[in-house]
Structure 1
Amino acid sequence: MATCGPYRCIKTLGKGGFSEVKLARHSETGALVALKIMKNSGGFDTSMMELVRNEIDAMKDLDHLNLVKLLDWDEDAKYVRPSGTQVKVFYLALELVSGGELFDFIAETGRFTEDVARYYFHQMIEGLEYIHTQGVSHRDIKPENMMLDAEHNLKIADFGFSSSQAMNETKRGTDGYMAPEIYKGVKYSGQSVDLFATGIILFIMVAQHPPFTAASARDPHYKLISTNRVDVFWKVHTKRKEGGLDYFSEEFRDLVASMLSYNPHERPSLAEIKEHPWYKGPVPTKEEITEEFNDRSNQLAALNNQEDQTIPDHSAGAGVWQPNVVQRSIPKGEESKAIDIERVLADYVPELKRYTEFYSTSSADDLFRALATYGEDYAQEHTFDDEEYRASFKMKAKAGETPVEFSVSVLKVDDDKKCIEVVKDDGDKFEFYEVYTNLKKFFGGHANTTL
């Protein structure tokens, strides 16, 4: 098992452009953490290091129920692989938020009622109110950064783009959640753009899809808001929904439209949001939220057990993947390079819940052959990890769009059962869910059991 400082690394949770996140356990206390690891050696991107230090500076003094907590960090640690080889790294140990992403849950189980959405909107606002009073703006509020703990509390994550300045000029954030003033390249309030993005998330919780692609005049949906045709905006978004315009309450429509205003001076302040009639509406109890999640989770578990138990023919994968070698997709005509390794089947950790996972009684090698066939047939690029039964995929993208990138891990639940865990690494979240759904169908009868 790999180690990093005082932590034993259990499995990979995800990878980014310059870092990876491991599920790890402290060797003395036994506490589980999310360990964010970055190489800290020759060739390291110094701008990325600045983002990491910025994240530490923002998080080290923050302590709130609705924020992921920074527990520990070390700029001069060693990552030791099972083979004994060492790499100099910079790590951050973060509170493990084990309930998964809020929007994984919505995507897999359906939209929230306005009352349930209000429960989580309150928690978002409370978390933002706390960091704003500390003089910090987040600047990357988006679905991926809304996490849930084991008790279904919302936690805001990832402060790499945060700022302590009242006004900002740098283009920070994620396309689809950035306010129009960021696209325009003018000075903007970090607190105002946080609330703008929160308005988008509120819409998604109830609609199960985003209100627009980008807050730009080129976007046909956002153009309706920027040109004061909000009534048309809502008619478009309710045209095919049950109940028509009444699909969203009038108070909900008023709050969301005001938070998404083109002119930042026309948007409500945080205090005004808290005084809005929709915000003051009925809120479920914690017990009611727990019951809601349990009911949805049980329905999801039943759906994940495929009705079609036929094992598809993935024998083609035997030609592109073999056990115990490192292999990568390569351009045609080039020679494939295979390096002998001993790949480990990482353990499934029940404390860490994903909604994009399913279960199988097939062997790890059979499941990896299926992944190899999938990569050859559908992915632009695919790579097999040299430590775990884990593969990474980069899908073919439409013109002008960021390709969906994701990782699939095969995990050991017990002697007979495996978990196939799918995690988005990059790209649009809603496109990722289409990919995930198709991948699960591709496995067919391999997805043949429940937890």
Structure 2
Amino acid sequence: MTSTAERTRVGKYDLGKTLGEGTFAKVKVAKHLDTGALVAIKILDKEKILKHRMVEQIKREISTMKLVKHPYVVQLLEVMASRTKIYIVLEYVTGGELFNKIAKQGRLSETEARKYFHQLIDAVDYCHSRQVFHRDLKPENLLLDAEGNLKISDFGLSALPQQFREDGLLHTTCGTPNYVAPEVIMDKGYSGATADMWSCGVILYVLMAGYLPFEEPTILALYKKIYRAQFSWPSWFSSGARKLISRILDPNPRTRITAAQIHENDWFKKGYNPAKFDREANVSLDDLDSIFNESTEHMIIEKKETKPVAMNAFELISLSQGLNLSSLFETKEGISA
């Protein structure tokens, strides 16, 4: 089947269907002209970013994704810029959100929940080893690839070492209320690692229960329950799962279980296969300044072409409905440490 269509070409990519659109960005599926591989391209408007003073935030988000090259994290492939746009080329993840899987089928079996928890802890522990703290871990930010493996996305609220204050702690109250750690609510400073670990505990509970451990009609009532770690156990939780979750949802960050201790937990170790990848991969952040530079030396050109095209797999995917990658394109405004 052939048709005549207007194609937009950016660098070595053909842009396809818009997957989602936010205030400051849109995400399109795209095809690499040489390899035919599909990617997701996050397109940011330079003028809007400058107007809202978001340059450092965008640089931080790009830096974060470059630093965490892990099998269970959505991969940043490259960054390009034109006079008016920034193009962030990302791995194309087709399995949807873990949240939608739970919403559709309800709670997961303990075995399946443990598999996702293995992958989550693997990725989060690696992020922390690179001094990257996500700060908004929740099932909506956990995507699934075609093989059903976890992919952490949306590092828009993440923190890097330069955001720590003199006391060595973070001080921005951020994240999603139902998943946020008690010490973040208290606004007295917190460790990004222990706060992320709390969120992982809430996620494990949700995977196994099918609902949240902390849920109240008002924020004040919700925060009281979180502060006291006040929740109930579903009857089907095994004793091993209960013991582990109890140690993760410890309201005292000083005694809360660490990632290293989780790896030694008997319930966690069952069926665990650590991810295999190059942990020492070199990362270059040299191109971060160039994307906002007025020099035309490294700029790419966005051009439109009208030509007959064959209706192939790329076209069919571009026309498909219901693919939600909103977590890739919503950029948070006004976040600081």
TM-score by length of 2: 0.73
Aligned with residue 213 of structure 1, among 194, 212, 215? 215
Shift of residue 54 of structure 1? Answer: 0.6
Q: Indicate yes or no: 2:82 matched with 1:77.
A: yes
Residue 140 of structure 1 is matched in structure 2 by 136
Indicate which of 110, 120, 124 corresponds to 1:124.
Answer: 120
Note the 1:292-441 alignment, pairs <5 A.
412=319, 420-421=321-322, 423=324, 425=326
Deviates more, 1:270-279 or 1:65-74: 270-279
Q: What's the Cα RMSD here?
A: 2.9
Does structure 2 retain, via aligned residues, the 8 Å contact 1:65–1:155? yes
User: Counterpart of 2:268?
Assistant: 279
Distance 1:71 1:174, change over 3 A: same
1:210-289 mapped onto 2 (5 Å cutoff): 210-213=212-215, 218-219=220-221, 223-224=224-225, 226-227=227-228, 233-234=231-232, 238=234, 246-282=235-271
Q: Deviations over 1:154-191 (max 9, x none)?
A: 11112222222252112332332221222222211111
User: Structure 2: how far apart are the matches of 1:351 and 1:61?
Assistant: 33
Output the CA distance in 2 between the equivalents of 1:127 and 1:91. Answer: 25
Residue pairs, 1:69-218, within 5 angstroms: 69-74=75-80, 76-77=81-82, 88-165=84-161, 167-213=169-215, 218=220
C-alpha displacement at 1:195, in angstroms? 0.8
The verdict on how the C-alpha distance between 1:261 and 1:10 changes in structure 2, with shifts beyond 3 A counting, is: same
Post-superposition shift, 1:348?
8.1
CA distance in 2, matches of 1:208, 1:349: 35
Shift of 1:61: 3.3
Return the alpha-carbon distance in structure 1 between the equivalents of residues 177 and 17 of structure 2.
30
1:29-68 → structure 2 map (5 Å cutoff): 29-41=35-47, 44-68=50-74
Q: Residues 12 and 21 of structure 1 are in contact (CA less than 8 Å); yes or no, is this contact kept in structure 2?
A: yes
Partner Cα separation in structure 1 for residue 213 and residue 44 of structure 2: 35
- What residue ranges of structure 1 are gaps of 5+ in the alignment? 79-87, 239-245, 285-345, 353-410, 413-418, 427-451
Describe the shift of the 1:183–1:349 C-alpha distance in structure 2 as closer, same or farther (beyond 3 A). farther
Distance 1:105 1:227 in 2: 30
From the superposition, tell whether residues 260 and 350 of structure 1 become closer, same or farther in structure 2 (CA, over 3 Å).
farther
Q: Deviations over 1:90-130 (max 9, x none)?
A: 11101111222222122212321111111110111111111
Change (3 A) 1:425 1:217: closer
For the 8 Å contact 1:137–1:162, the answer to whether it is kept is: yes
CA contact (8 A) 1:18 1:48 kept: no
- Answer whether contact 2:96 2:324 (CA < 8 A) is retained: no
Pair 137,3 (structure 1): closer, same or farther in 2 beyond 3 Å: same
Shift of the 264–23 alpha-carbon distance from structure 1 to 2, 3 Å rule, reads: same
- Number of residue pairs the alignment of both structures matches: 277
Aligned mates of 1:350, 1:24 — CA distance in 2: 10
Contact kept in structure 2, 1:101 and 1:146, CA below 8 Å? yes
In structure 2, do the counterparts of structure 1 residues 38 and 266 end up closer, same or farther at CA, with 3 Å as the change threshold?
same
For 1:51 and 1:425, how far apart are their aligned partners in 2? 18
Q: 1:111-150: per-residue Cα shift (whole Å, max 9, x none)?
A: 2111111111011111111111112211121212211111
Output the amino acid matched with 2:247.
Answer: S
Partner of 1:198: helix, strand, or coil? helix
Asked whether the equivalents of residues 73 and 153 of structure 2 are also in contact (C-alpha less than 8 Å), the reply is yes
Tell me which of the two structures has the higher relative contact order, counting C-alpha pairs closer than 8 angstroms and 6 or more residues apart. 2
In 1, distance between residues paired with 2:49 and 2:248? 42
Q: Secondary structure at the match of 1:12?
A: strand
Q: 2: distance between equivalents of 1:133 and 1:351?
A: 40
The 1:77–1:27 alpha-carbon spacing in structure 2 relative to 1, beyond 3 Å, is farther
- Pairwise CA distance, 1:420: 4.1
| Residue identity opposite 1:190 in structure 2 | G
CA distance in 2 between counterparts of 1:77 and 1:267 reads: 47
Equivalent of 1:9, from 4, 7, 15? 15
Answer with 1 or 2: which has the greater Rg. 1
Distance (Å, rounded) in 1 between the aligned partners of 2:322 and 2:219: 38
Percent sequence identity is 39
How many angstroms apart in 1 are the aligned matches of 2:107 and 2:187? 34
Contact 1:115–1:283 (CA under 8 A) maintained in structure 2: no
- Residues 178 and 4 (structure 1), Cα distance of their counterparts in 2 relative to 1, 3 Å cut: farther
Are the aligned partners of 2:39 and 2:91 in contact in 1 as well (CA < 8 Å)?
Answer: yes
Partner-residue secondary structure (3-state), 2:59: helix
Aligned to 1:335: none
Change over 3 Å in CA distance of 1:278–1:47 after alignment to 2 = farther
